[in-house]
Amino acid sequence: MKFAKHISILIILFISNIAFTQVKFEAKVSKKKLGINERLRIDFEMNKDGDNFVPPSFADFTVVGGPNTSLMNSYANGKKTYQKTYSYFLAPKKRGKFTIKQAKIEIDGEIYKTFPITITVTAAVDRPNGPPDASDVASENIHLVAELSKTDPYLNEGLTVIYKLYVSPETGVSNWREKDIPRYNDFWSQNIDIKGLNIQKGLYKGEEYRYVVLRKTVLYPQKTGKLKLEPLVLDVTVEVPSGRADIFGRQIMTKVPKTITAGSRTVNVKPLPAQGRPSDFKGAVGDFNFNVTTSKSQLNATESLQAKIEVSGKGNLKLFELPSLTTPSSLEVYEPEHKESVNTNLSGMQGRISDTYTIVPQYRGKYPIPSISFSYFDLKTESYKRVTSEELVIDVLEGPTASANNTEDVATANTKQTVRPSTNTFSFIKTKSNWTSIVSKPFFKSTGFWSMILLPFLAIPVAIFIRKTKDKRDADVQGNRIRKADRLARKYLSEAKKNLGQKEIFYESLERALHNYLKAKLNIETSDFNKEKIEDLLKERQVENQVISDFISILENCELARYTPITNVTMQNDYDKSAKTISLIDKQAR
């Protein structure tokens, strides 16, 4: 009996030891029934480490998070407990019943599988079952908002868009990056510099939030109708409470990556009224002062003076032309020098623009400069206004007097005269010729004959020299790379060079040249073009960061230049910079 009792104890201990060492691999879900607007968490747990984990196909779900791996080792009463978990967060694609099939893993050379799990997806629920996950909490507590100062401006009336990031007091943001920047098609735009991100308090939908201003932009619409503003898109790392506390009682935060957008906004741009529009109106919108002045009122002939036409005030100063100066034909007038002193802030453009003409009189006398009119649309009264300058007189004291015969010569130059034929009308035609005989010399033993004989022999050393020069050039790998890069730059930029001076056509040609170069160099399609991808591909080809930055800045200049006044000097600089950048990329790319 005593022996049988000992045997029974040994069997029990052996069975217990087997139970403790038995491998477990199972799948657990947060719920088996959920709404289509809910998230599902599935954990694959094992009590022993394994290799070659193969998850099931989540064909009926979208994986919104995971796989996340967690390990837990614990000791209790001298016994070690091990647990490893692979976690996924799933969003159902449609309603219905779906089966999540088996997962596999290899532990100690054996293959273990989980049991299939059936999930029922119902219609959207008002209040999702169970506590929301971290991603849902982040979505509810962080918002990107685009605030417009005006939604119905007139054509060429300034407005501002301010992008604010609202964060609730319970959450935080540890990192953010602009993923997609608005291009503001059909607007003249300028970003306002922001010095530091100051945290402020404000209300979002009636609730207290903290917010920071990320971007400020001034816009002037260049078309009428409904214009769409592209959204700003951010990649943000959000810190949300995990519901757990550390040993000091402080809340443990969970970091959740989120992509948020301000959404697209629509601006309804009103056309300027046709009624009462002056014939000399050139698109000025705002509140302006107009002035015409000369540097001198009296001078001597061949001396010079300056006449300045100036507009100052608040409005679209960079987006219209000044009226032209009209002078008597006896005054020499040179092309005007255009100057701008304009500041742009949240209230729009403010400052002054001017055209300065240099005038040189040739004769003594008094020369009137007729009055000049400037028209603009006043936003305060929503009506057109015209300002007219006074007539100016230039008094030339000393110099030659304009000859009275000058006027007579001009008058008689256009009168017709009767042509009277005479006997000598055709006297210039020769009626006699002096013929001389030509004696031909034989070609044999002539200079041409000996040249043709000796020329092939003389060409041999020249050909040898050319061949050696070519071999030397072919061996110059670095030099060939530089020459090839320069040829590519000239090839792709040739069309843009032809259009220098024509702003819209030039920048369209320049942008097309840059895109064609990238397609040839990086083998990517036009539909794949975005700044982030271009930057990544060039970095993979070991192109220097400064060269990449220059290339991206040229692309941005092409986008902005279509809506911004550009000088010929700026266009030439952009062309030279493009040629240099393409050449550097071709030399550095591996």
Q: What is the residue-wise DSSP string for 309-349?
A: EEEEEEE-GGGSPPPPP---TTEEEPPPEEEEEEEEETTEE
Q: Work out how many domains the chain is built from and give that number.
A: 4
Mean pLDDT of 374-402: 91
Ranked by mean pLDDT, the top range of 217-226, 294-303, 474-483 is: 217-226
Peptide bond before residue 67 is cis, with ω within 30 degrees of 0: yes
Region 289-299 average pLDDT: 93
Can you tell me the distance from the alpha carbon of 366 to that of 308, in angstroms, rounded to the nearest whole number?
19
Write the CATH number for 224: 2.60.40
- Give the pLDDT of residue 461: 83
Q: Which residue did the predictor score with more confidence, 412 or 78?
A: 78
419, pLDDT greater than 70: no
State both tokens at 412.
């008689």
* Range name among 190-204, 279-293, 378-392 with the lowest pLDDT average: 190-204
Within a domain: residue 470?
no
pLDDT at 123: 82
Q: Which helix (H) or strand (E) holds 99?
A: strand 96-100
**Between 425 and 570, where is the model more confident?**
570
* Choice among 150-164, 353-367, 469-483, 539-553 with the minimum mean pLDDT: 469-483
Whether residue 146 sits in one domain with residue 126: no
Q: Write down the pLDDT at residue 526.
A: 53
| Radius of gyration of the chain from its Cα atoms, rounded to whole angstroms | 41
Residue 535 pLDDT greater than 60, yes or no: yes
Angle at 342 between CA 160 and CA 390, to 5 degrees: 120
Q: Is the pLDDT of residue 441 over 80?
A: no
And the tokens for 316? 């679209």
Position 430 in a domain: no
Domain boundary (212, 236, 269) is at: 269
pLDDT value of position 133: 66
Query: Does the structure show a pLDDT above 60 at 51?
Result: yes
Cβ neighbourhood burial of 372 (10 Å; 0-12, 13-18, 19+): buried
Q: What is the pLDDT of residue 157?
A: 95
| Other Cβ atoms closer than 10 A to 107 | 17
pLDDT digits 0-9 by tens, 53-68: 899 988 889 888 778 8
Q: Choose the final residue of a domain: 362, 396, 430.
A: 396
Kindly tell me if the per-residue pLDDT of 289 is higher than 50. Answer: yes
Q: In the prediction, which pLDDT does 281 show?
A: 94
The average pLDDT across 289-297 equals 93
Domain assignment of residue 5, yes or no: no
Cα distance from N-terminal residue to C-terminal residue, the chain: 85
Residue 487 or residue 452, greater confidence: 452
Residue 132 phi, psi (nearest 5): -70, 150
- Same domain, yes or no, for 482 and 506? yes
Same domain? For 108 and 150 the reply is: no
Please check the confidence at residue 30 and state whether its pLDDT lies above 70.
Answer: yes
Containing structural domain, residue 119: 18-130
Does the pLDDT at position 394 exceed 60?
A: yes
Q: Is the pLDDT of residue 414 over 80?
A: no
Q: Output the pLDDT for position 323.
A: 94
User: Which pLDDT belongs to residue 318?
Assistant: 92
Of 380, 396, 412, the last residue of a domain is 396
Cα–Cα nearest to 211, from 275, 262, 283: 262
Quick check: 249 and 143 in contact, CB under 8 A? no
pLDDT score of 220: 95
Mean pLDDT of 518-543: 72
The separation between CA 320 and the C-alpha centre of its own chain, rounded to angstroms, equals 25
Domain check: are 44 and 163 in the same one?
no
Q: Is residue 492 part of a domain?
A: yes
Residue 2 has pLDDT above 70, yes or no: no
What's 313's domain CATH number?
A: 2.60.40.740
Q: Which of 120-129, 407-416, 581-590 has the highest mean pLDDT?
A: 581-590
pLDDT at site 17? 47
Kindly state whether residue 463 falls inside one of the protein's structural domains: no
For residues 113 and 237, state if they share a domain.
no
Same domain (yes/no): 141, 245: yes
What whole-number distance in Å separates Cα of residue 485 and Cα of residue 479? 10
Alpha-helical regions (H) of 77-199:
134-141
Query: Do residues 125 and 141 both lie within one domain?
Result: no
Q: Which has more confidence, 431 or 569?
A: 569
H-assigned helices in 22-148: 134-141
According to DSSP, residue 461 is labeled H
Render pLDDT for 541-561 as a digit per residue (tens, 0 to 9). Answer: 888 888 888 888 888 777 777
Instruction: Supply the pLDDT for residue 230.
Output: 87
Amino acid of residue 160: T
Q: Are residues 160 and 123 in the same domain?
A: no
Give the pLDDT mean for 281-295.
Answer: 95
Positive or negative, the CA dihedral 49, 53, 57, 62 is positive
Establish if 181 belongs to a structural domain. Answer: yes
Is 410's pLDDT higher than 50? no
Strands 251-261 and 96-100: unpaired
Task: Check whether residue 108 and residue 160 sit in a common domain.
Answer: no
Q: Is residue 462 part of a domain?
A: no
CB-CB neighbours of 558 under 10 Å:
22
Residue 551's pLDDT is: 83
Mean pLDDT of 325-332: 87
User: Alpha helix (H) ranges present in 214-366?
Assistant: none
Determine the pLDDT at residue 125. 72
Inter-residue contact 163 to 262 (CB < 8 Å): yes
pTM: 0.50
pLDDT-derived band at 453 (thresholds 50, 70, 90) equals confident
**Are both 211 and 293 inside the same structural domain?**
no
User: Same domain for 200 and 231?
Assistant: yes
Amino acid 416: pLDDT: 35
d(CA 538, CA 39): 38
C-alpha–C-alpha distance, residues 493 and 490, integer Å: 5
Tell me, yes or no, whether 512 lies in a domain: yes
Closest CA to 155 of 218, 222, 91, 203: 222
The reply to whether 42 and 157 lie within a common domain is: no
240-243-246-251 Cα dihedral, nearest 10 degrees? 50
For the CA atoms of 320, 321, 322, 327, what is the dihedral angle to 10 degrees? -160
CB neighbour list of residue 513: distance below 8 Å, 6 or more residues apart: 492, 493, 495, 496, 578
Residue 418's pLDDT is: 37
| pLDDT score recorded for residue 201 | 92
Separation in Å, CA 405 to CA 327, 364, 401:
22, 16, 11
Mean pLDDT for the chain? Answer: 81
